[in-house]
Amino acid sequence: MGSVRLGLIGANIARSQSPRLHVEAGRLCGVEVRYERLVPRDLGLDFGAVFDRCLDEGFRGVNVTYPYKEEVVARVKLSDPPTARIGACNTVLFGNGGPLGHNTDHSGFISAFEASFGKTAPGKVALVGAGGVGKAIAFALVRLGAGELRIFDTDPGKAHRLAAMLSEAGAAPRVIRATSTEEAVEHADGLVNCTPIGMSGHSGSSMERRHMVGASWAFDAVYTPVDTDFLRSAADAGLAIMTGWELFFYQGLDAFRHFTGAEVDPLSLRRVLRANDEKKLHA
């Protein structure tokens, strides 16, 4: 594969590092990657029109991020049972068989968690945010052996639907639909933010530091910025933390594999991306 054209469809993606990850991964594998940011509102189009344009214009595939990870499902064939159960996808491969949807948030979180925390089970987990990424991470936590999931969303319907999906799948020993953040975090071992709160343009934290007492680890799906208020508070409270950058990195590895069929060396790609970050800091 000599060259590929890829894109990212989402809102508030000006600072996304996905273009750099895929371009650098391609360089390491001898593949020329052209990667475009596509914001439907800026283009004066809705999501479906942007998606169809990518399909018509010869894109190899697209990544899909907030707030379109669930909307895109109606337009793709889902690649495997986990993705079908989750009902959200973030990676779409175009081809003769029609658009094929993958959920590399799910697979990427499993890899990131094991790389960060080893084979330690997640324990009882409070998950705040039951949208597209929340669904993927909930099912990933089950795969990792979480003993209990407590789900809270400001939209009670979303939390209810995710709890029902997990229960119907027989996916976890216990699933609780919490009615507040306080209820979700009580006696929790792990704290997970899957809301956009904390990302550029959405300042703040989904949990206060007082909610974090007694927990052992925390993860924030937000990675722009990496050092969120949520993770700073968690670190100050003595929790082990996993940043959203780790999920970004591992889901990106999986997405690149789907797009190109190539296996990029993770250590080499990590070194390149981190080196570029250091250059920016000292520029």
Cα three-residue angle 82-151-90, rounded to 5 degrees: 35
**Which residues are catalytic, by number?**
68
Asked if residue 8 lies in contact with residue 37, where contact means CB atoms within 8 angstroms, the answer is yes
Residue recorded with tokens 């089950």: 142
Per-residue pLDDT 10s for the chain (283 aa) are 689 999 999 998 998 999 999 999 999 999 999 999 999 999 999 999 999 999 999 999 999 998 999 999 999 999 888 899 899 999 999 987 889 999 999 999 999 999 999 999 999 999 999 999 999 999 999 999 999 999 999 999 999 999 999 988 776 678 999 999 999 999 999 999 999 999 877 889 999 999 899 999 999 999 888 999 999 999 999 999 999 999 999 999 999 999 999 999 999 999 999 886 644 433 3
With tokens 């996304």, the residue in question is 16
**In which residue ranges of the chain is CATH 3.40.50.10860 found?**
3-103+246-282
pLDDT at position 279 is 46
- pLDDT for position 283: 35
Show Cβ contacts of residue 170 under 8 Å, excluding neighbours closer than 6 positions: none
pLDDT on residue 80: 85
DSSP 75: G
User: Where exactly does CATH 3.40.50.720 map onto the chain?
Assistant: 106-244
**pLDDT at residue number 281:** 33
Q: Torsions phi, psi of 61, nearest 5?
A: 180, 175
DSSP-assigned letters across all residues of 92-139: EE-STT--EEE-HHHHHHHHHHHHHHTT----EEEEE--SHHHHHHHH
Protein fold of 3-103+246-282: Rossmann fold (3.40.50)
- pTM equals 0.91
Residue 52: count of CB within 10 angstroms of its CB:
13
CATH superfamily of 106-244: NAD(P)-binding Rossmann-like Domain (3.40.50.720)
Q: How many Cα atoms occupy the beta-carbon half-sphere of 282 within 13 Å?
A: 6
